[in-house]
A and B are shown apart, each in its own frame.
Chain A
Amino acid sequence: MQRGKLRSLIAGFAVAAAALLLAPGSAQAVPSFARQTGFACEACHTVFPELTPYGRRFKLNGYTVDILPQVSGITPSKEQTLMLNQLPPLSFMFQTSYTSTKKALPDTALPDAFAKNGQVLFPQQASLFYAGRIAPNLGAFVQMTYDGTSGSFGWDNTDIRYARLANENFLWGLSLNNNPTVQDLWNTTSAWQSPFDQRSATAPGPGAGTMIDGGLADAGVAGVSAYGYLYNSVYVELGAYRSAPAAAQIDSTSTNVVKGAAPYWRLAYEHQWGRHSLEVGAYGVEAKLYPGGDVPLSGPTNKYSDWALDSQYQYIGDENLVSVTATYIHEKQTLDATYGAGASSNPSDTLKTLRIGASYYYDRKYGGALGYFSTTGSSDDLLYAQGDPVTGFANSKPDSKGWTAELDWVPYENTKIALQYTMYDKFNGGDTNYDGAGRNAKDNNTLYLLGWINF
């Protein structure tokens, strides 16, 4: 091969590898798991994407339980070197939605004019998944997504894992993934939060959020973690993330670039009795980030120390399903870089998020959910500046609070229709005129209708 060609191939591969780790959105249950295991969705999901105790077990095991005909290879010493499903475990997901806010959003070009309220996205999101075993003890969950708002196709949630059962009381594994918490087993954490795993892609959302609650994932990271599961109840995980945005090189044009590696940790205890299960846990991340955005990637960094508590309760009856999830996240921001550059008024700030939700399903078909959310934090004139209408913070505070309610209909195990309403008591620091341009928190109240199919 010519050198030039080789070089461009390597470069191409590097770009592809970087693209592979692009910022993820949200993903779900996948029918290829059902095809691979022969289990109906209900074995692993209460209602997708929330996992049952067995679903957590299947994920812990590296997505490897399999009943399909295999293409296999062994060495003379009978070591298994290949074990591939004869049919690739592919699935497809399609989401379409309708969003309307209480008050229409301002026109992006004309002053004093308004955009059309009532946005239909068709699709909101469409994804292709490879989800299943790829080798003995090795499995993958890989999602490619077409995003209806940006009109682009990109790499989404990825979790490639290796798992070994040492004995009945100890299982360990490794996960290579691109979204801190995408590897998690409970639906309290950011990547797979339940009950409101889906929200409108077009309505305005609160502007402030912590790193562990999606901030790092949005910045584009990739990481490895090692986990152990003891006595079917204690889960311990330790990992580290590095920056891996979808760019050929990481430089001053990137934002929130991780210095070195950011350690991630997770501890949880789950108790199961009869048809009930209860989890209590903690998780967190320590990230030193160069803010970037036209600032060289050297010198001081911002340090984000996040710790969080979470708990999940599930009752899985023949007819009645009840789930309650809660998490509290505390973030300490030591803003050496941002403060030094005069872009924050305080050298350090805090940000706290609380989320509680409960859902009930009858017959796994008809359901409803109610939840409360709140993000509050330090007042900071520069960090939370007035900015643009709708997205700005006129009161220098990050606070957003409110309620979400949802009605669900799941006519088939792989089809869900959800009608959701979100009410804001506070939005970006205020209730009335929060953006300094006359918009009230309540104006962002959002009605959202979602149709969602997996096959």
Chain B
Amino acid sequence: MKTIIALAVGAVLAAGSTAALAQDQEGAKALATGVCSACHGPQGHSISPVFPNLAGQQSAYITLQLDAFRSHERGDPNARAYMWGMASQLSDTSIKGLADYYAAQKPAVGEIGDKPLMAEGQKIYTQGIAAQGVPACASCHGKDAEGAGAFPRLAGQHADYLVAQLQGFQSGTRANAPIMANVVRSMSPEQIKAAATYAASR
């Protein structure tokens, strides 16, 4: 008898939690299609490079960013103008739901840049720039720029957006990422453009 009750309670609990989970997922999807898609595009494929693609982005990274917008730690101009307000009312559960929703979408296909730029970018991306102390991007962002966990996917992103972010790390407007500030410290604008173009094209 005891085991039956225990089983029944277990079943109810399990049913309850999957229902709650389903509801969270539904809620996240509704938020994504109803609100976020106006800028980040349907399924996280945006049009203007002002708005980053979110499709296929790492779930952990999205969570960290929404958290950083909410706490105002990520404070570059567009983060303030757009995402501080947007993130301010998101609960931890909706952040998790949104992160999982976008991580599960099919990533955008990267655009190929012009040849010399791509060649220079490939070198920086895969080998770094030893003379300037710039590490290989691939060591953290992955061979195909797919990212992992807290390391964001760069593949398929708008190159213009990546350039703007790298400039932000360099100038200190996106000041909550000491690792990246270190990476870009000595990079020239051309090197930034090359690395971003290559990473985006993966």
If A43-B81, A232-B42 are given as contacts, then 20 extra A-B residue pairs at C-beta distance below 8 Å, sorted by A number, are A37-B85, A37-B86, A38-B84, A38-B85, A38-B86, A39-B82, A40-B80, A40-B81, A43-B82, A53-B47, A54-B38, A61-B38, A165-B33, A165-B34, A168-B33, A168-B37, A273-B47, A275-B48, A275-B50, A318-B50
Top 3 closest pairs, chain A to chain B, by CB: A38-B85, A40-B81, A57-B38
- Cβ of A67 < 8 Å from any Cβ of B? yes
Collect the chain A residues with CB atoms within 8 Å of residue B39's CB.
54
Q: A169-B42, A318-B164 are in contact. Are A39 and B37 (CB under 8 A)?
A: no
Complex formed: what's the CA distance from A318 to B78 in Å?
10
Within 8 A of A (CB), among B42-70: 42-43, 47-50
Complex formed: what's the CA distance from A316 to B34 in Å?
24
- From residue A172, how far is it (CB to closest CB) to chain B in Å? 14
Complex formed: what's the CA distance from A318 to B168 in Å?
13
- Cβ of B17 < 8 Å from any Cβ of A? no
From B42, B47, B50, B81, give the contact of A39 (CB < 8 A): B81
User: Please, which residue of chain B has its CB at the minimum distance from the CB of A68?
Assistant: B89
Chain B interface residue number, banded: 20 to 34
User: Please, which residue of chain B has its CB at the minimum distance from the CB of A35?
Assistant: B85
Inter-chain contact A53/B48, CB cutoff 8 Å: yes
Inter-chain contact B42/A168, CB cutoff 8 Å: yes
Interface 1/0s, chain A 38-51, versus B by CB < 8 A?
A: 11101100000000
Collect the chain B residues with CB atoms within 8 Å of residue A61's CB.
38
- Cβ of B35 < 8 Å from any Cβ of A? yes
12 contacts between A and B (CB under 8 A): A39-B86, A42-B81, A43-B81, A53-B48, A61-B38, A67-B86, A165-B34, A168-B37, A168-B42, A272-B47, A273-B47, A275-B48
Inter-chain contact B48/A38, CB cutoff 8 Å: no
Main secondary structure of the interface of B (DSSP, over half): helix
Collect the chain B residues with CB atoms within 8 Å of residue A37's CB.
85-86
User: Please, which residue of chain A has its CB at the minimum distance from the CB of B30?
Assistant: A165
Inter-chain contact A274/B86, CB cutoff 8 Å: no
User: Please, which residue of chain A has its CB at the minimum distance from the CB of B48?
Assistant: A275
Complex formed: what's the CA distance from A53 to B88 in Å?
23
Collect the chain A residues with CB atoms within 8 Å of residue B86's CB.
37-39, 67
Within 8 A of B (CB), among A124-183: 165, 167-169
Collect the chain B residues with CB atoms within 8 Å of residue A57's CB.
38
- Cβ of A65 < 8 Å from any Cβ of B? yes
- Cβ of A92 < 8 Å from any Cβ of B? no
Complex formed: what's the CA distance from A383 to B33 in Å?
54
Complex formed: what's the CA distance from A58 to B85 in Å?
15
- From residue A230, how far is it (CB to closest CB) to chain B in Å? 12
- From residue B58, how far is it (CB to closest CB) to chain A in Å? 23
Collect the chain B residues with CB atoms within 8 Å of residue A316's CB.
48, 50
Collect the chain B residues with CB atoms within 8 Å of residue A40's CB.
80-82
Collect the chain B residues with CB atoms within 8 Å of residue A54's CB.
38-39
User: Please, which residue of chain B has its CB at the minimum distance from the CB of A271?
Assistant: B47
- From residue A65, how far is it (CB to closest CB) to chain B in Å? 6
Within 8 A of A (CB), among B82-104: 82, 84-86, 88-89
Inter-chain contact A67/B48, CB cutoff 8 Å: no
Inter-chain contact B47/A38, CB cutoff 8 Å: no
Collect the chain B residues with CB atoms within 8 Å of residue A274's CB.
47-49
Collect the chain A residues with CB atoms within 8 Å of residue B164's CB.
318
Q: A67-B89, A316-B50, A318-B164 are in contact. Are A58 and B38 (CB under 8 A)?
A: yes
Complex formed: what's the CA distance from A272 to B86 in Å?
23
Collect the chain A residues with CB atoms within 8 Å of residue B43's CB.
168
Inter-chain contact B38/A67, CB cutoff 8 Å: no
- From residue A73, how far is it (CB to closest CB) to chain B in Å? 18
Complex formed: what's the CA distance from A276 to B91 in Å?
34
Interface 1/0s, chain B 94-135, versus A by CB < 8 A?
A: 000000000000000000000000000000000000000000
Complex formed: what's the CA distance from A163 to B38 in Å?
14
Complex formed: what's the CA distance from A90 to B43 in Å?
34
Interface 1/0s, chain A 284-295, versus B by CB < 8 A?
A: 000000000000
Inter-chain contact B82/A67, CB cutoff 8 Å: no
From A67, A232, A275, give the contact of B88 (CB < 8 A): A67
- From residue B23, how far is it (CB to closest CB) to chain A in Å? 11
Collect the chain A residues with CB atoms within 8 Å of residue B33's CB.
165, 167-168
Complex formed: what's the CA distance from A274 to B53 in Å?
12
- From residue A242, how far is it (CB to closest CB) to chain B in Å? 33
Collect the chain B residues with CB atoms within 8 Å of residue A38's CB.
84-86, 88
- From residue A138, how far is it (CB to closest CB) to chain B in Å? 15
Residue among B38, B49, B86 with most chain A CB within 10 A: B38
Collect the chain B residues with CB atoms within 8 Å of residue A43's CB.
81-82
Complex formed: what's the CA distance from A54 to B50 in Å?
11
- From residue B65, how far is it (CB to closest CB) to chain A in Å? 16
From B50, B81, B85, give the contact of A67 (CB < 8 A): B85
Collect the chain B residues with CB atoms within 8 Å of residue A272's CB.
47-48
User: Please, which residue of chain B has its CB at the minimum distance from the CB of A56?
Assistant: B38
- From residue B36, how far is it (CB to closest CB) to chain A in Å? 10
User: Please, which residue of chain A has its CB at the minimum distance from the CB of B89?
Assistant: A67
User: Please, which residue of chain A has its CB at the minimum distance from the CB of B84?
Assistant: A38
